[in-house]
Amino acid sequence: MTTIARDATREAALRAQLAIGGWTFSPFCCDEVDSTNRVALALADEGAPEGTVVLAEHQTAGRGRFDRSWTSPPGGLYLSLLLRPRPGEAPEARGLYGLTLSLALHETVEGLAGAGRVGLKWPNDLAADGRKLAGLLSTASTDGRGDLHVVVGVGLNLNQAPGLLPPEAVTLAELVGHPVDIDAVALTFLQTAAERVAQLRTEGAPAILDRWLQRSGWRGRRVTLAPDARTPTRTVTGVVQGLGPGGELALAVDGGPVVLFPAGDATIAKEGGA
């Protein structure tokens, strides 16, 4: 861990602006890293506190959901935040950290792109014009003392040259028509994340689930859910009824009952489509 070159100037600048009631953020900034999630998990294992946040200019082995790779050239936001469930915190809360931070990211991005230009995509993505703007990856683990921690990794496309990203990606710079300040986005996101996690802890999961449903507009929409390791082996289509207590997608499957899906690749079905 100590062999990674850190950017002390960037860390000090971020730390100075991250004094948020009840939260202590400890930024760990590096230029190149394999994966900020891997670094954050290693720091967690060494006992790093909640609020440790790893940022990299670019990643050489960024990871996404379903063990996909996450293309990470310079110009994007690559950030991993360490959260440690509090004693007495409802057990379902820790399963909702990813969804909670996706709300914080959506609020951050809407502040720059304008309301209604960027959508939330279950469970943890942001999309615009049918293209992927951001993804979040939540990984839970226990350290040597048996304490649980969760690392939520955020990949947000900001200023990357379009040719360096997969064709299905979109950048925030494309949406707003000019480059954006990566650290300003990171700061706003972390401030908003602190508010949302506090809301999850004080008001409970329903407040966050309701907020997600309101902001996403997914209730009542027809979606197609492609399988992954934890879902049925076939693609299913149905109408979204809401979210389960752990953030599962509650889908009234065509010709079948309402089923809670814990994971999967969900896409809004085209209007008038099957």
Find the shortest distance in angstroms from Cβ 36 to ligand BTN: 4
User: Nearest to residue 95, comparing CAs of 124, 126, 119?
Assistant: 124
Of the two residues 157 and 255, which places its CB atom closer to ligand BTN in the complex? 157
Find the shortest distance in angstroms from Cβ 144 to ligand BTN: 23
Of the two residues 56 and 243, which places its CB atom closer to ligand BTN in the complex? 56
Find the shortest distance in angstroms from Cβ 146 to ligand BTN: 25
Of the two residues 35 and 192, which places its CB atom closer to ligand BTN in the complex? 35
Residues that bind ligand BTN (CB under 6 A): 35-37, 59, 62-65, 68, 70, 78-80, 125, 135-137, 153-155
Q: State how far the Cα of 192 lies from the Cα of 196, in Å rounded to an integer.
A: 6
Q: What stretch of H or E contains 35?
A: none
Q: Which tokens sit at 271?
A: 């209007």
Of the two residues 64 and 95, which places its CB atom closer to ligand BTN in the complex? 64
Find the shortest distance in angstroms from Cβ 122 to ligand BTN: 12
> Which ranges in the chain belong to alpha helices (H)?
8-16, 36-45, 91-94, 97-113, 172-176, 182-203, 205-216
Residues 6+ apart with CB under 8 A from 130: none
Nearest residue to ligand BTN by CB is 135
Find the shortest distance in angstroms from Cβ 254 to ligand BTN: 26
Of the two residues 102 and 188, which places its CB atom closer to ligand BTN in the complex? 102
Of the two residues 37 and 192, which places its CB atom closer to ligand BTN in the complex? 37
Assign residue 197 a region (left: φ > 0; alpha: ψ between -120 and 50; beta: otherwise).
alpha
- What ranges make up the beta strands (E) of the chain? 19-20, 23-24, 26-33, 52-59, 77-83, 119-121, 125-128, 131-142, 148-156, 222-226, 236-243, 249-253, 258-261, 265-268
Find the shortest distance in angstroms from Cβ 272 to ligand BTN: 28
